[in-house]
């Protein structure tokens, strides 16, 4: 089982999209500042969206799909609270 997740940092007002097989450990990694691309937002990253996928290949494909559609300059409803996958799929990513 793999996860695709969207993190939001109120410190930087930025989103980060990623995938992993251990969501809890990965979030800790981001918040410890151990990931160069998210270090500036640590320790304020929080999960605002997650999806469960059956395997790594599916997760990477979905991560790329979300990354290709998200506009970093747009405010999304899920920046304020965690959402379900049905809700995020209905957003105009």
Residue 91 reports pLDDT greater than 80: no
Residue 90 reports pLDDT greater than 50: no
Q: What is the CATH number of domain 2-90?
A: 3.40.1440
The residues facing 7 across adjacent strands are 16, 47
**CA separation for the pair 40, 12 (Å, rounded):** 7
More confident residue, 77 or 32: 32
Going from N- to C-terminal start, the domains of the chain cover 2-90
The residues facing 38 across adjacent strands are none
- Fill in the DSSP letter of residue 76: P
**CA separation for the pair 33, 71 (Å, rounded):** 24
Percent of the chain with pLDDT over 90: 43
Q: How far is CA 77 from the centre of its chain?
A: 14
Q: Looking at residues 28-53, what average pLDDT do you find?
A: 91
**CA separation for the pair 87, 20 (Å, rounded):** 21
pTM of the entire predicted model: 0.78
């Amino acid at each position: 089982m793999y996860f695709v997740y969207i993190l939001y940092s109120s410190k930087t007002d930025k989103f980060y999209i990623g995938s992993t097989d251990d969501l809890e450990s990965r979030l800790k990694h981001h918040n410890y500042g151990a990931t160069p691309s998210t270090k500036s937002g640590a320790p304020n990253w929080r999960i605002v969206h997650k999806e469960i996928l059956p395997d790594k290949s599916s997760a990477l494909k979905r991560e790329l799909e979300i990354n290709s559609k998200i506009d970093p300059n747009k405010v999304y409803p899920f920046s304020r609270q965690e959402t379900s996958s049905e809700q995020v799929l209905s957003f105009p990513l």
